[in-house]
Amino acid sequence: MEELTKTEERVMQVLWDLKKAFVKDIIEAMPDDPKPPYNTISSMVRVLEKKGYIKFKAYGKTYEYSPAISKAQYRKASFKKMFTNYFDGSVESLLSFVVKEHSLSQEELAKINDIINKNQDPKL
């Protein structure tokens, strides 16, 4: 899966929320102010389509776009890459980072512990 730029990712976030949309709908739903130019988003949508992230349905010269991959699929691939590149695939390094950098409360730590306990292999 080819990596997205930050701007491409913002367009995908909007499209995941909308489920399907025309370029004008994507622009209207973007939180940016001022809104990006129509041609910019139109070009970006075509790039995303070439990368395999978006599919389209043609209505004459007008195109309705929808995600070709789910947000969950993208999240999984992005996290896997980040986990491998920044934490060397070490769960211990990841958890250590989260605990140190985010000052977790006792309640949050207890929830993490519960998640770990619920997902342990019963054979161990």
pLDDT (0 to 100) of residue 122: 67
Cα–Cα distance, 56 to 9 (Å, whole number): 18
Cα–Cα distance, 123 to 83 (Å, whole number): 26
Q: At what angle do helices 6-18 and 71-87 cross, to 10 degrees?
A: 150
Architecture of domain 6-67: Orthogonal Bundle (1.10)
Above 70 in pLDDT, residue 123? no
Cα–Cα distance, 27 to 85 (Å, whole number): 33
pTM of the model: 0.78
Q: Looking at per-residue confidence, does 9 or 95 come out higher? A: 9
